[in-house]
Amino acid sequence: MSKKITIDPVTRIEGHLRIDVEVDNDRVTNAWSSAQMFRGIETILKGKRPEDAWSYAQRFCGVCTTVHAIASIRSVENALNVQVPLNGQYLRNLMIAMHSMQDHIVHFYHLSALDWVDITSCLKADPKKTSLLAESMSDFGGHGVDDFKNVQKKLKHFVDSGRLGIFASGYWGHQAMKLSPEENLLLFSHYLTALDYQKKAAQAVAVIGGKNPHIQNLVVGGVATAVNMDNMATLNVERLSLIRKKLGEVKKFIDKVYMNDLVLLADRYREWFDIGQSVGNYIAVPEYPLDIHSKEFLIQGGIFFNGEQNIHHKILDHSDDYLINNITESSEFAWYNNPAPLHPWEGSSDPRFTGYDHDSKYTWCKAPRFKEKAIETGPVAQILAGYHTGNEFIKREIDFYNSTLSIDNSKYNSTMGRLLARGYRAKFSAETAEYFLDKLIENIAAGDSDYANPTEIPSGEYKGVGFHEAPRGMLSHFIHIKNKKIENYQAVVPSTWNASPRDENGVMGPYENSLINTQLAETEKPLEILRTIHSYDPCIACAVHAVDPDGGDIVKVKVL
């Protein structure tokens, strides 16, 4: 007998997401992904000054803020063909890489790991055995017997208080949890440690960006971060040394803790390399420009169709016509007027809420398509693009971990594959941040002190697009400038691609598609659905954890 399960809201994400599934014999047979909040910033931007767009656009989200600022400023620079000095590129790249490090640490430990780690089991763990396990995996430190006893003490005090906050709705003791008490204690202790290390990465971003979240240092043509090694009021030797220190600490955590925990999880839950397969189409754009024209990039992009392991189309830069011209968005099942597929430059965000009806309209999320295909974006897309375009670091990491876990590249189209790919991306981001810090220092030492190319917005009419390979995937901001004002603005964000509803042809988006055939152990506690949805790191809009201070339900799971 079929059942209908509704999870509303899905927590431990950014934004408000509802998931509905139909289940027959405890197996998912149909699914609907519904973004439950209207964004509207594109409408707010109409009539504003193009040079100010980035400061508005990064308010799309309170977590992935840097990425929208970067994509927005690039859209204006693309429209006006503006060059960015090398120091400006290097400083932007440094912020991008450090933000990615912070974002991936937060996702794994604080948003996703609790789908796999049973916190209540930690109190049963033997601290001595946990210490031996930890020391067999890494020499990171903080893994003594007393360290784990202290974690248990903190946890017991927290549980005894009865004020569980965001942990109150966890599926603790679920039969799909497989880690031993000692493994649970180890990963939970790293959950706490990760809070400090993600903060270090955020602080490093703020040294350059002025604050975090919502950086303050971008201008059309570069950055407003003055560079002078001898001036106490600018980015100087002391500030760069602070960045290097924090960067090194976070890199060590990623290498010696995050990746080891990820491999442990992947090994214990090996069956999840065969669960959560998505549409099999991928897209990623080049990132980290190396020249003032943004024509050369540290890592290239690519498009994959129909589950092919060979790349369909290499994307070498952000001016690729094949990329730009084949993106459309459909509102057939979204709460907007103009349901027909439109290119973002012609797109609109005119809301028309008609109530939830999965046979008609059921989400605020549009349905982006590339050449009429649903497509997944994110770390899997980027690591596959890097692998097939010859990025040595990406290829080395994938080959090493494929060998360690006895998998091949086809296994990345899965729930566990997405988690693993995000770990590679965290390592790559750390290496990249150090690379651009060195490049910045070398360039300044060579006598180049330029960090911006001051640019006035000219009269006339211009269109541009700013691409950015953000932590969650390909981000694009499309801008239409007319008479020095914004005529139209559309952002197609990674979670728009992944959380996409059905399109005018009835084709599901990646979230929906990846839930089909998922087997549930307990229909009243659909943990398996959350594991797959969280593997995408959804960012529906700006949000934090939903907490009811009066102790009421924050998540409703209805089984009908």
Known binding-site positions: 42, 61, 64, 539, 542, 545
Q: How many beta carbons lie within 10 A of that of residue 192, not counting itself?
A: 13
How far from 16 is each of 271, 302, 372, CA to CA, in Å? 29, 30, 27
Cα–Cα distance measured from residue 382 to residue 260, given in angstroms and rounded to the nearest whole number: 21
Cα–Cα distance measured from residue 503 to residue 330, given in angstroms and rounded to the nearest whole number: 6
**Residue positions forming the annotated binding site for Fe cation:** 64, 542
CB 238 within 8 A of CB 89: no
Say whether 299 sits in a helix, a strand or coil. Answer: strand
Cα–Cα distance measured from residue 68 to residue 324, given in angstroms and rounded to the nearest whole number: 18
Cα–Cα distance measured from residue 470 to residue 65, given in angstroms and rounded to the nearest whole number: 10
- Identify the residue whose tokens are 């560079």: 227
Q: Catalytic residue positions?
A: 14, 61, 64, 68, 472, 495, 539, 542
Say whether 73 sits in a helix, a strand or coil. Answer: helix
Residue 363's DSSP bridge partners are 334
- Identify the residue whose tokens are 């031993």: 180
Of 95, 39, 78, 148, the closest CA to residue 436 belongs to 95
CB 382 within 8 A of CB 514: no
CB 361 within 8 A of CB 497: no
Cα–Cα distance measured from residue 338 to residue 350, given in angstroms and rounded to the nearest whole number: 8
Helix axes 392-405, 415-445, angle to 10 degrees: 150
Ramachandran bin of 518, using left for φ above 0, alpha for ψ from -120 to 50, beta for the remaining angles: beta
Say whether 209 sits in a helix, a strand or coil. Answer: helix
**Residue positions forming the annotated binding site for Ni(2+):** 61, 64, 539
H or E segment at 432? helix 415-445
- Identify the residue whose tokens are 């090694």: 229
Q: Both tokens of residue 535?
A: 């593997």
Length of the chain: 560
Cα–Cα distance measured from residue 135 to residue 470, given in angstroms and rounded to the nearest whole number: 34
Cβ burial of 403 (10 Å; 0-12, 13-18, 19+) is: exposed
* DSSP single-letter state for residue 235: B
CB 453 within 8 A of CB 82: yes
Residue 218's DSSP bridge partners are 223
Amino acid found at 229: M
Cα–Cα distance measured from residue 238 to residue 56, given in angstroms and rounded to the nearest whole number: 31
